[in-house]
Amino acid sequence: MKPSHKLLFVLCPMLVLGFIYYSSGKLHLHVWGQKPLYDKQGFLLKLDGQLPAELAYKYGNLSEGVCKPGYAAAKMTAIYPKFMKPAPMFLDRNFKRLAKVRNYLPPFGFKTQERIIDSILTATKNYGLGEVLDSLGCKRCIIVGNGGILANKSLGSRIDDYDIVVRLNEAPVTGFGKDVGTKTTMRITYPEGAIQKPERYEKDSLFVFSAFKPLDFKWLRQMVYKEKLRGTEGFWKSVAHYVPREPTEMRILNPYFIQEAAFQFIGLPLNNGLMGKGNIPTLGTVAITMALHNCDEVVVAGFGYDMNMPHAPLHYYETVKMSAIKESWTHNISKEKEFLRKLVRANIITDLTNGI
């Protein structure tokens, strides 16, 4: 056989195999002649909230109100096959092994911050929720957003019923118990969002830190080691000078939840992996993402940016108006809402205040 024929002999099957491989990848999303099954983000287009047969069998017989182990993650996988449940809530001493975050700078990872994180984790010594919650076989979590929609709905006692109550930034409980409850398992925040008055911190709650820039880790180290805050330049707003929590009550939120919410779930611009215009999810959505990985059931309340009500109160605890969110250049409220609505429509999360 001529060498040129030999070459053709090898090349042709390779081309055919290559074509089959390529089209099978496409077929996963798009069966020829049929409408696509999944959207650009990888979510099933048909979201009717129905349980797939195997889940109906698993959960169907449990009576109302009983915690369903693995429910949120199972439903998430049913509409978003790429979902991989394991992702620790907080960074622990092995954080450098977390492959998905080690090569991204804050806020999408911890690259360049390894030493300072090591030093913070040496002092906090604890990396979980605590013995009681960590050993629960099934965890029901509620993420309480700060939205004005929580006012006058008397949801306080329902909120307090959850195993884990997550609150955000400076949202108060004192004086608002009837509507937002009194229990706080953890409060997730960053320097500019943290409660500033020491007396406003609730006891028995974890101070969970979410970092957006390298300076935020510096601030946290000073708070953990109870040092005098040196220099507040570089923050976009005034920050707390003292956090009245023991180091053992402080945690660092896994930055993977910011990354996954931004790039996988919402589809915000990658911007070379750097924080930029409109590529930061709001903290509430980051908290929901964390809960999808770490809670068996996920419920939310106090969520909703309603652009049709520009004069409605933005928060349940102050008079700032809804229209104020338009000034934010970091978030993409409408794209984010599209994602949250998928979770609600598919019954992955329950929205107690119906604002999503």
Ligand X SMILES: CC(=O)N[C@H]1[C@H]([C@H](O)[C@H](O)CO)O[C@](OP(=O)(O)OC[C@H]2O[C@@H](n3ccc(N)nc3=O)[C@H](O)[C@@H]2O)(C(=O)O)C[C@@H]1O
Ligand Y SMILES: CC(=O)N[C@@H]1[C@@H](O)[C@H](O[C@@H]2O[C@H](CO)[C@H](O)[C@H](O)[C@H]2O)[C@@H](CO)O[C@H]1O
Chain contacts with ligand X (rule: CB under 6 A): 145-148, 168-170, 192-193, 282-285, 303-305, 314-315, 325, 328, 331
Least distance (Å) between residue 321 CB and ligand Y: 16
Residue 238 interacting with ligand Y (CB under 6 A): no
Instruction: Please state, in angstroms and as integers, the Cα–Cα distance from residue 307 to each residue in 252, 286, 288, 313, following that order.
Output: 33, 21, 22, 11
- Please give the biggest Cα pair distance in the chain: 90
* Residue 127 near residue 232, CB atoms below 8 Å: no
Sequence-separated (6 or more) residues with CB below 8 Å from residue 350:
298, 299, 300, 344
Which residue number has the CB closest to ligand Y? 236
* Residue 95 near residue 121, CB atoms below 8 Å: yes
Secondary structure of residue 121 in the 3-state scheme:
helix
Instruction: Give dist(CA 239, CA 220) in Å, integer.
Output: 11
Question: What does the DSSP 8-state code read for residue 312?
Answer: S
- Token pair belonging to 349: 């999360």
> Which one, of 211, 241, 248, 208, lies nearest residue 226 by Cα?
241
Residue 280 interacting with ligand Y (CB under 6 A): yes
Asked if the peptide bond before residue 247 counts as cis, ω within 30 degrees of 0, the response is no
Residue 282 interacting with ligand Y (CB under 6 A): yes
Least distance (Å) between residue 334 CB and ligand X: 13
Beta bridge partners of 213: none
Site for ligand Y in 186-215 (CB under 6 A): 190, 192, 212-213
Least distance (Å) between residue 327 CB and ligand Y: 7
Instruction: Give dist(CA 42, CA 79) in Å, integer.
Output: 8
Least distance (Å) between residue 234 CB and ligand Y: 7
Which residue number has the CB closest to ligand X? 284
Q: Select the residue interacting with ligand Y from 236, 238, 277, 310 (CB under 6 A).
A: 236
Instruction: Please identify, using beta-carbon distances, which residue of 187 and 293 lies nearer to ligand X.
Output: 187
Indicate which of ligand Y, ligand X, none lies near residue 280 (CB less than 5 to 8 Å, by partner kind): ligand Y
Instruction: Please identify, using beta-carbon distances, which residue of 6 and 326 lies nearer to ligand Y.
Output: 326
Least distance (Å) between residue 309 CB and ligand X: 10
Indicate which of ligand Y, ligand X, none lies near residue 212 (CB less than 5 to 8 Å, by partner kind): ligand Y
Least distance (Å) between residue 279 CB and ligand Y: 11
Residues that bind ligand Y (CB under 6 A): 190, 192, 212-213, 236, 280, 282, 328, 330
